[in-house]
Structure formats: C-alpha cells, structure tokens
A and B are shown apart, each in its own frame.
Chain A
Amino acid sequence: MSVVSGSATTTRPRRLDEEGLPFDDDTTPNPFRAIADPAEVEARMGIVIVGHVDHGKSTIIGRLLADTGTLPDGKLEQIKDLCARTSKPFEYAFLLDALKDERAQGITIDAARVFFRTPKRRYLILDAPGHVEFLKNMVTGAARAEAALLVLDAGEGIQENTRRHAYLLSMLGVRQIAVVVNKMDLVGCRQEAFDAFARDLGAFLATIDMTPAAIIPVIGREGDNLAMRSATMSWYTGPTLLEALDAFRSQGEAVDGPFRMPVQAVFKFTNDGDDRRIVAGTIDSGRVRVGDEVVFHPSGKRTRVKSLEAFNRVAPSVAGAGESAGFTLAQQIYVTRGELATLAHEPQPVTATRIRASIFWLGARPLEVGRSYTLKLGTARVSVHLEHIERVLDASTLESVTDRVAVVRNEVADCVLKLRHPIAFDRAAELAATSRFVLVDNYSISGGGVVREALRVEAHASRSGSGATVALRPGVLWLTGERGAGKSALARWLADRADRSGARVEVLDDDTVGALFPVGASRTEQDLRVRRLAWFASRLEAHGAAVIVAVDSPEDDARRYARSVSSELVEIHLHAAPEVLATRGAARDVIDYEAPLQPELRLDTGRLSLDEAGAEVIAWLQEWSSQS
C-alpha cells in the first residue's frame, strides 16, 4: 500500500511570505481549482460519483486530488492542522468538506464540483451525496455527467441505494459507468470476495441494460488502484481508476440526429435601432443551415432560415447541437417561446395532449392522482393533471406495484398525464433530449421524467350531442380564429344550450358590442379594441357571468392580456382550411392572424359540424370542471 502523507506532490514549499502577500498565514486556498499545464487537452468531461452513504466517495476524490498534485499549496497541511486542533483523525474526505455545516453533519450534502485533470483531459467531478434524503442532488449531478463512478463498500456490498442509483443513471441517460469496490482491506484484499461482487453487480446492471466499463477493487484511504496500481492486490490486472476515467469516451453533442431547437425567445430590439427579428434557442440535436425550411411545433408554421446571427464573430452558415443559436426567418411568421423548431425534411416530433411517461419523484409532497402540476419540456410549459398511475417501480428490486394513487419521494413510476394544451416532444426511445421533462409542484421542481408515448384522448361526450346542455361557470370563453371560422355561430350555439343551473351568459360579438366598441381601421386600434373588450369581459366575469367572446382578435399579445385580467379564461381556437373559409364568403383578411400557441381547445370547423364543434366544447368544459 502506498504511503499516506508526506509525498512530494502535496507538500510544496509555500511562497507567500517571500512574495510579500498579506494575510498569508491563514490563507484559505481552495481545492476546486484546475491546475493548468500547457498539455493539449480535450474539453472538460463531467463525471458523477455516486454510491451509498459512508461508502467512501469523498475519500476517493480527496485522495485523487492529493495523488494527482491537484491540491493548492498548503491545503493538505491546513486540514491536518484543523484535525489535530479538534482532535479528529485526519480523513481525505475533509478536503471536500469545504463548508462548516458539512463538517458538523459529517455527510456531503450537495453535488459539489471538483475540477482536476490528467495528462489526457480535464474533468469536472460531481460529488453526489449518498444519503437517501438527498437523491435530488444526485440527479442534479448525474444529469450533467457523461459518465459515472458507482462506489460501493466491499464490507457492506450492494445496498438499496446502489441499485437505485444505477437505475436512475440509466433513466437519466448516463450510459458509461465504472464501478469502484472500495475498502477492499475489509475483506482482506481477497480476489474471491471481489469476484463475487463483480458477478452480482454485473448481473444486476444487465437487468437495466447497463454494462460497466470496469469494476475496480480499491482502498480509497491508501490510494490503492486510484492513481497508482496496488501492490497488495497484484492479482488485479484491470485499469486503475484514473485509467478507467481516461478510457471513457467523450460523447460530444448529438449533431447526427434530426434538428431540434426549443425556442427560448424571439428577440427584437427595435428601440436600439435593430430591426432583426431573431429566433433564439439552444440546439438539442442535429444541425440547421441557412436556407433550410424550418417547421415550428405545435403551431405547424413553417418558413426558411434567412440568416444565422452571432455577436462579435462572423455569422456562421451552420449551427449544431450544443450551440446557443439564433436565426432570422425568410417570412414574418409569428412564433414564440415554447415551440419546438425542426427541419421540414427530417423526422417530425409528436404533438399530443395525453402521454404515458416514466417519472422519478423527488418532492416531499407525493405525486398524487387527480392533482395538477406544471410540466416543463424544452421551453414549453403546460399545466398537467395526473390521470393514472400504471405502476410504481421499486428501484431496489425493480418489481412493480399497481393500484397506487400516489408516488412518494425517491420512487419511479409509469404514469398517464393529461395536458391542458398540446405540446411537441419526441418519444424517449427515439430522441432522449426532447423526451425529457420536469414536473413543478408549488414553485419547485419535484420530479423528472421521459415521455414513452402519446396516447389518444378518450371521448367523454357523444359527437352528435345536439341535445346536450352545459352549466357554465363564471368565466370567459374566448373564441378566436380567422374571419369565417365560425366564432359567432358557435357562441350563439353555446349560449342556447347553457343550462339554467349555471351562471348567466353574456355573448360579446360584433352584433352586441359593435356600437360600443367600434372596429378600428388600423392594427393598433384593433388591438386596443380587443383589450377594452377583454377588460369589459373580466368585469362581467367578476360579477358572476359566463362571458362568451366572439370577435376578431388576431393578436396573440392582446389575447394574453385577456388571459391576464380574467380569473378563468378558456381559449378556443377555431380554424379551417383556406378553401373552406373562401366558400363561406368571408372577406380575405389582409391582416396576419396569429394563431394561439396554447389554446385550451382547437376545433377544425371545416371538418366538424356546428353541433359537433359545440359538443366538443361542452365535453371539454365538463371534463375540466370535474377535475378542478
């Protein structure tokens, strides 16, 4: 075994005094610095280190830092001094316990970052905690990693957390893994004991479709098989930990897949004299070139890329996965944050309002059937409703339990989610990056998951439904669509079927409010008219009325304003093919109608009869009032 202290790499002479630096005697240099040398290196690789509490992760990292000469001058001595003063035996783990309350608690509480490098490349080690309470920090670390080290204790073997961590790594998409069997001295450094471990672990990992790149017997405290080959375990011929790290492949970015870019924002800085309208986002997969035809989902709008934009460098002609990009469009179409940009000639994503997903839950409050959450996928946000839990997977045994109505912290489950409006995504089996989402409960990210597939929306009302009635609640039903889409007719149809047991109904269309709110000539006047109407509708709503608005409202901004002033607004988008609109004799609009991105309901009035469209609205309203 190697010598613990006094090695030449950790006790360089300190030069602070000679250099005349102040406060040198109790300076607190930090262990998280990269020690640079001019050697050629690849970009930094993120490695997450996970394992059960007390299995020795921090010790292994501390020892690696010391043995690779990555510690700043004096750090090791400083920690040893502190241990001597407080009468605690020195441990390499203390190097990482940079926070006072960590030392008090004795466990690592967060995914700390540690930078270090080998001659081959630089690493960012994400130290994920083993304590069961802190699983969310492990997820944070693992999600940033290209490879993982799974640490287990030779004296204790495969624990519940070992299995759980391995399963989560596979779900989070970390496919490269090396297993570190620590504290081999507890089993007498015997090869038979190690082989038994390797067998059991390999068998378990195979069930979750993971193959370890290496299984390494080490003694973290002594440094055996970390940076240096162990003399005690000469029977082991595989790689040391450092060799295993260097053997991981940098996965790079998924430039070969179909182009996917969630739109972060559309920038226009007109006030600064800049007329470019730039669609910006980070590319999740694939590439985009100037001239490509892009399609935005779920709106389905399409046009060509006019230019790629950049600051302080020559505008590129192509941008690929991993890049924060920006491009202008050949035509002025209305797109906004939340849409997914794709290329017309490549495989398209799925758009749906009902999905099956695998979810891991991190929240203190359970995930419950019947409750609503916010789902964030890419840059899209949507209110969702947990419809059904198909099965809960016990992450340690991988056995499934059915008939559950809640998923508690640290569990993994397959669930059915109902989305309030459609979003675009890919199935996990096809494109991982755009299948991943998080669930927000009460302001905090409480779970994550991947979409397995889109599901059909089950019909709750008969399509014939002309005899159905509905008890409307106070609120605003906002019908929008191009001229001729059938807004006013549907508004009247709904008003006629409003049940007497519900709220009083007011229809605001051009017939009723035309005189009070005259149609303006310019776009600005029209916009102002819609905002006035929106405010008026919200006042009626506040007095208990169910308000059905059916006027031209081509601007998304104005409709957003309507949503912001109303306490409960349901936006219904009526659309029909241009040929259909033409047959209805509607004057062709010169205005650019901005279709709503996230309406509660979309109805194709070219295909549906008025009765069918009305029945859809009633069915939707009934379903939502039963859920909230």
Chain B
Amino acid sequence: MSTTIAAPATSRASRIDHLDQLEHRSVHLLREAYASFPQLAMLWSIGKDSTVLLWLARKAFFGHVPMPLVHIDTSFKIPEMIQYRDRLAAEWRLTVIYGQNEDALAAKQTFPDGNVDRLTCCGNLKTEALRRTLSGEGKRYRFDHTLGKYVVDTNREPYTGVIVGARADEEGSRSKERYFSPRSGENNWNIADQPPEFWNQYATEFAPGTHVRIHPLLDWTELDIWEYIERERIPTVSLYYDQGKGERYRSLGCWPCTKSVVSDAKDVQEIIVELKSGRYANIAERSGRAQDKDDGGGLESLRREGYM
C-alpha cells in the first residue's frame, strides 16, 4: 500500500536543523509521557500526522513502540486506511487496538445512514467511541500477532495518558493547546484554565478520574510533516498521492465526509513542492473536511467534548 518514496533530497543544513529541533522536542515529550503514565496509549488515525508520531515513538524508544496504538474505527474509513494499518501493525510488531461505537452503528445513528447530521455523526462514531474506548467501558479489540487477527482485549483499565498528533497550525482552537493537557473524566477541555508549561516541566500529575492528553506534534506544520516523511522515508498510505486521476487526499477521514482535492502530486517531493509554491500554498489543509464548516468555531465545539 505504501507509495514510492522519493530519494531524500540534499536538503540544506538549515532545514535539517529545523526538523531535528522538532524531532528532539517531540521525542522528549514522548519519553516524559512514557515515564509518567502507567496506562499510556497513543491515538493512531492512520493519517500522516499520527504516523509521523508513531515514527517518532520508534525514535524515542530506539526502534520499539512500548504503548498501544488506539484507532477509532467508524466503519466508514476508506478501506485502504485499514489495510495500511494492519500491514504496519504486523511489520513493526505494533500493539494495535481499535474501538467502535457499536450501539450507534447498530441503531444506524449515522450521517451516511441519513439519520443524523454530520456533527452528530462525528459525535457518535468518533467522540463517543473514543471516550468509551479510552475509559474501557467500550470493547477494545487488540491485534494478536500469533493469530494474525483482532481479539477482544482483556485490559479494560482506563488510559490515564493519551498521546495525540494534533498540530497547532491545523486550525484556531488547536493553537491554544498545551503539550500536556489535563482533561476531566468526561473528556472536557477547560481552555480558560490551563496549566502553565515551562522549562520542560509538564502537567504529569493528575487527579483520580481524569486523564492527560499529550501533544508532541504541536509545533509542527503541515510542510514540516511532509519534509520529515521525505527525510525519514516513512511509509504513508497511498491515498495521499495522485494515482493518475488528477486527484489526491490532503487530509484523511471517513469517505462520506472527506473529499479529494485536485492535484497531480504523485509522491512526497511533489507534495512538498505543491505546498510551498503550488496551488495549495495558501489554502487550509482541512478545507476538504465537511464537519468543520457545520460549526462556526471550527473544531472548537467538537474538541471541547473530546474530538481529536
């Protein structure tokens, strides 16, 4: 499923410095998270950002990924995404766990079924599914490397630390995030009262019934992500590249709500050129994501309730 990865460019030393700077900070944050939270998980959306995050975990832990990767499967994900997920799980020996809102799916309370609007659908299949999977109320399915398939996970302990690939440049509300962001048991985010962060010290203490979200990619931009993918030759899902039809996905989500964009970028290098000087140099990354528009404040309403 991975696409051709172009040979690394002979980047100038200054660019390497910038990516190194980002990498070192992210690695530091990942190690702090690992040292601080016994019940730690990393969210893996299969997209480029959380895949870079996964790669950074391999950097931080010298080739290992010592925490489960949690994927919320809405059942409407583009099929290539699931194939790519399971392929990497097997190749890199990852502990992959997925969760779903099985009640909402059974009751067909979804936008593709025509019963609810887009935002409610996101709320049901992502936010609520995530909340239940993190708390352990919902079933967790773990990839069993011996059997080569998913089995129900016996660990139902709530995750107290959750690593997320949010970037500050994605949209307004994310620019307000902390690297370590405490959330209440109901996943609520109190934007006006966030802990201070300075001198490499973070909110690693947490009261019973709460958890902490960790954002190692906060300082990365979309361009940084692609340049790092190129430098490190990180395998990414083929949907990001034009397969000859003159279109590609810039941001991945559920098929009913994610549209491809017009582009003939066929590999990582061509995407970087497109982002720097091409047609998308001045257009927001999530412009192909419909649910953002149904809410005046961007993702803010969704994020307050726990959306990633």
B207 on interface, CB distance cutoff 8 Å? yes
Bits for A370-388, please: 1 = Cβ < 8 Å to B, else 0: 0000101011000000000
Quick check: B300 and A312 within 8 Å, CB to CB? Answer: no
Quick check: A282 and B200 within 8 Å, CB to CB? Answer: yes
Quick check: B197 and A143 within 8 Å, CB to CB? Answer: yes
Contact of A274 (CB < 8 Å), options: B63, B171, B196: B63
Cα A21 to Cα B293 in complex, Å, equals 13
Q: Taking A139-B196, A324-B27 as contacts, is the C-beta distance between A30 and B261 under 8 angstroms?
A: no
B185-207 contacts to A (CB < 8 Å): 191-192, 194-203, 205-207
- Cβ contacts under 8 Å, A143 to chain B: 197-199
Quick check: B64 and A274 within 8 Å, CB to CB? Answer: yes
Cα A326 to Cα B34 in complex, Å, equals 15
Quick check: B64 and A272 within 8 Å, CB to CB? Answer: yes
Cα A282 to Cα B35 in complex, Å, equals 14
Quick check: A311 and B205 within 8 Å, CB to CB? Answer: no
State which of A32-40, A489-497, A512-520, A554-562 sits at the interface with chain B.
A32-40
B87 on interface, CB distance cutoff 8 Å? no
Cα A115 to Cα B281 in complex, Å, equals 14
A427-444 contacts to B (CB < 8 Å): 433, 436-438, 440, 443-444
Cα A276 to Cα B61 in complex, Å, equals 11
Quick check: B62 and A267 within 8 Å, CB to CB? Answer: yes
Cα A426 to Cα B222 in complex, Å, equals 39
Quick check: A21 and B261 within 8 Å, CB to CB? Answer: yes
Quick check: B18 and A379 within 8 Å, CB to CB? Answer: no
Quick check: A28 and B293 within 8 Å, CB to CB? Answer: yes
Quick check: B284 and A29 within 8 Å, CB to CB? Answer: yes
A15-33 contacts to B (CB < 8 Å): 15-16, 19-24, 26-33
B9-26 contacts to A (CB < 8 Å): 12, 14-15, 17-18, 20-21, 23-25
Cα A142 to Cα B276 in complex, Å, equals 30
Q: Taking A37-B276, A38-B277, A143-B197 as contacts, is the C-beta distance between A23 and B31 under 8 angstroms?
A: no
A226 on interface, CB distance cutoff 8 Å? no
Quick check: B172 and A445 within 8 Å, CB to CB? Answer: no
State which of A98-106, A198-206, A525-533, A590-598 sits at the interface with chain B.
A98-106
Q: Taking A21-B288, A140-B197 as contacts, is the C-beta distance between A101 and B21 under 8 angstroms?
A: no
Contact of A312 (CB < 8 Å), options: B59, B218, B222: B59
**Extra pairs beyond A114-B175, A282-B28, A443-B203 (13, CB < 8 Å):** A27-B284, A28-B292, A72-B282, A73-B282, A112-B175, A136-B195, A274-B62, A311-B59, A324-B60, A362-B196, A436-B199, A438-B201, A445-B203
Q: What is the CB-to-nearest-CB distance from B64 to chain A, in angstroms, rounded to a whole number? A: 5
Residue of B nearest to A44 (CB): B18
Residue of A nearest to B296 (CB): A100
Quick check: A311 and B21 within 8 Å, CB to CB? Answer: no
A243 on interface, CB distance cutoff 8 Å? no
Cα A37 to Cα B281 in complex, Å, equals 9
Quick check: B34 and A265 within 8 Å, CB to CB? Answer: yes
Best-surrounded residue of B66, B168, B196, B284 (most CB of chain A within 10 A): B196
Q: Which 8 residue pairs of A and B lie closest in terms of their CB atoms, listed nearest first?
A: A98-B172, A143-B198, A29-B284, A136-B196, A324-B27, A100-B297, A438-B201, A443-B205
Q: What is the CB-to-nearest-CB distance from A286 to chain B, in angstroms, rounded to a whole number? A: 15
Quick check: A282 and B281 within 8 Å, CB to CB? Answer: no
Cα A109 to Cα B171 in complex, Å, equals 17
- Cβ contacts under 8 Å, B279 to chain A: 15, 19
Quick check: A73 and B283 within 8 Å, CB to CB? Answer: yes
A526-545 contacts to B (CB < 8 Å): none
Chain B residues within 8 Å of chain A by Cβ, number: 76
Question: Chain B: residues with CB nearer than 8 A to chain A?
Answer: 12, 14-15, 17-18, 20-21, 23-25, 27-28, 31-32, 34-35, 58-64, 66, 93, 168-173, 175-176, 178, 182, 191-192, 194-203, 205-207, 218-219, 221-223, 232, 259, 261-262, 275-277, 279, 281-284, 287-288, 290, 292-293, 296-298, 300
Bits for A398-439, please: 1 = Cβ < 8 Å to B, else 0: 000000000000000000000000000000000001001110
Q: What is the CB-to-nearest-CB distance from A489 to chain B, in angstroms, rounded to a whole number? A: 38
A272-327 contacts to B (CB < 8 Å): 272, 274, 276, 278, 280-282, 309-312, 322-324, 326
Q: What is the CB-to-nearest-CB distance from A11 to chain B, in angstroms, rounded to a whole number? A: 12
> Please, could you name 21 A-B residue pairs with CB atoms under 8 Å apart, sorted by A?
A16-B283, A27-B283, A28-B172, A29-B282, A29-B284, A30-B172, A34-B223, A37-B276, A40-B12, A98-B172, A101-B191, A110-B194, A112-B175, A115-B169, A172-B198, A311-B62, A312-B59, A438-B201, A444-B195, A445-B197, A445-B201
A484 on interface, CB distance cutoff 8 Å? no
Quick check: B201 and A324 within 8 Å, CB to CB? Answer: no
- Cβ contacts under 8 Å, A281 to chain B: 31
Cα A112 to Cα B64 in complex, Å, equals 34
Cα A73 to Cα B279 in complex, Å, equals 12
- Cβ contacts under 8 Å, A443 to chain B: 182, 203, 205-207
Quick check: B277 and A37 within 8 Å, CB to CB? Answer: yes
Residue of B nearest to A374 (CB): B205
- Cβ contacts under 8 Å, A43 to chain B: 14, 17-18, 21
Quick check: A438 and B21 within 8 Å, CB to CB? Answer: no
Q: What is the CB-to-nearest-CB distance from B146 to chain A, in angstroms, rounded to a whole number? A: 14
- Cβ contacts under 8 Å, A34 to chain B: 169, 221, 223
A124 on interface, CB distance cutoff 8 Å? yes
Contact of B175 (CB < 8 Å), options: A20, A38, A98, A139: A98
- Cβ contacts under 8 Å, A378 to chain B: 200
A391 on interface, CB distance cutoff 8 Å? no
Cα A296 to Cα B112 in complex, Å, equals 59
Q: Taking A43-B21, A324-B31 as contacts, is the C-beta distance between A33 and B169 under 8 angstroms?
A: yes
Cα A102 to Cα B293 in complex, Å, equals 19
- Cβ contacts under 8 Å, A35 to chain B: 281-282
- Cβ contacts under 8 Å, A444 to chain B: 195, 203, 205
Cα A98 to Cα B300 in complex, Å, equals 9
Q: Taking A22-B290, A362-B196 as contacts, is the C-beta distance between A269 and B169 under 8 angstroms?
A: no
Q: What is the CB-to-nearest-CB distance from A128 to chain B, in angstroms, rounded to a whole number? A: 11
Q: What is the CB-to-nearest-CB distance from B56 to chain A, in angstroms, rounded to a whole number? A: 10
- Cβ contacts under 8 Å, B173 to chain A: 98-99
Q: Taking A101-B192, A444-B203 as contacts, is the C-beta distance between A312 and B58 under 8 angstroms?
A: yes
Cα A24 to Cα B259 in complex, Å, equals 12
Contact of A324 (CB < 8 Å), options: B24, B191, B300: B24
